[in-house]
Amino acid sequence: MREINKAVTGLSDCMKPTMFKDVVKAVQHTLKFNAEKGSYDIRSLALKLGHSLKKCAKIVKASALIVDDKMKRKEAEGFFDLCESEWNSAVSSLALQTLHVRKLNNPKRIPRAEDVKKVNQFLKEKGEGEGNERMELRQYTDRMMADDRLQEEVAQSLSSFERELTHTISRVQIRGKRGRPVAVLLSDRHKEKIECLNKYRDALKINKENQYLFARGGESRSPIRSADVLRKFSIQCNAKSPELLTSTSLRKHVATVSQILNLKDHELDTLAHFLGHDIRIHREYYHLPENSIQIAKVSKILIELEKGTIQNFAGKSLEEIQMDRQ
């Protein structure tokens, strides 16, 4: 903005209707807008900057209200209104169009099963624990002290193996996206490692006011970043595609691969809730990759149509159609 308008000394100077066009130019420059191709090199940032600028306008308006600056408040309101009405056509729509075009033929990749196995085995051998999302010490200790005995009626509905799992696996709830509760399942091995970690908190000189289970050392009050831990060990375990071993990709991996189990609706609902997903989002997005569906399933119909033998499979589902290898 300073390159475009020398009068700008700070971001608050931009929160005026008369500055809107210059702000759009500055954003286009930041996103590396290619006028000839009508596309952006940095696409997703267009949406984020639009939201951020509206927040800035609200902050300027609030500051103006506090000091009763009617002119600044009116300017901030005008800039916000322009963002609401013009940002989409000026910036966002073209960025979204560029984003969608580039995604059309990009492969949708999920972690390899062998890589998931590798990193899990590596962590077992190292005796390291993977930190969960900002789990608080209180959440863990309260959960361990809770009386979780199954009601007799519930226990009778479970298989002997399932009943055994309820005795060896503990469940802790943490806060996920948008405040949605997300469950974390801990085995006896996990609990042993956590108890050992808790035992040596003082020796590790962890701040007494650090509320997190996987706390940073020293005076820090923040948790260890689980993404950094997972990235480090994904590389060290010699995974073939370590970049795919992220918490988001692993959740997608579970959701996608679970489809081969042919889960019923209530079972799918249980899995989606455990992963912290809304069931509608789960069904819409976490399906088998589209190219796999089309190649492995839909192509069976097209081949049988070409052979003129589709009538042989009347009344059968895609799963039930078995073809000759000729």
Co-location of 138 and 214 in the same domain: yes
Q: How many domains does the chain have?
A: 4
What digits encode the pLDDT tens for the residues 181-195?
A: 777 788 888 888 888
- Residue 127 within a domain: no
Contacts with 256 (C-beta within 8 Å, 6 or more apart), sequence order? 110, 286, 287, 288, 289
Co-location of 20 and 49 in the same domain: yes
Q: What is the pLDDT of residue 131?
A: 43
Stronger pLDDT, 323 or 28, i.e. the higher one = 28
Stronger pLDDT, 270 or 204, i.e. the higher one = 204
What digits encode the pLDDT tens for the residues 80-119?
A: 999 998 888 877 777 666 666 665 555 566 777 788 888 8
Co-location of 304 and 276 in the same domain: no
- Residue 98 within a domain: yes
- Residue 187 within a domain: yes
Report how far Cα 279 is from the mean position of its chain's Cα atoms. 15
Tell me the pLDDT band of 127, cut-offs 50, 70 and 90: low
For the cut 80, the answer to whether the pLDDT of residue 199 exceeds it is yes
In angstroms, the CA 126 to CA 168 distance is 22
- Residue 230 within a domain: no
Co-location of 252 and 190 in the same domain: no
- The answer to whether the beta carbons of residues 135 and 212 sit under 8 Å apart is yes
- The answer to whether the beta carbons of residues 32 and 96 sit under 8 Å apart is no
Q: Spell out where 147-270 has E strands.
A: 170-175, 181-186
- Residue 112 within a domain: no
- Residue 236 within a domain: no
- Residue 4 within a domain: no
Q: What is the pLDDT of residue 21?
A: 92
Q: What is the pLDDT of residue 33?
A: 78
Domain limits for position 305? 291-320
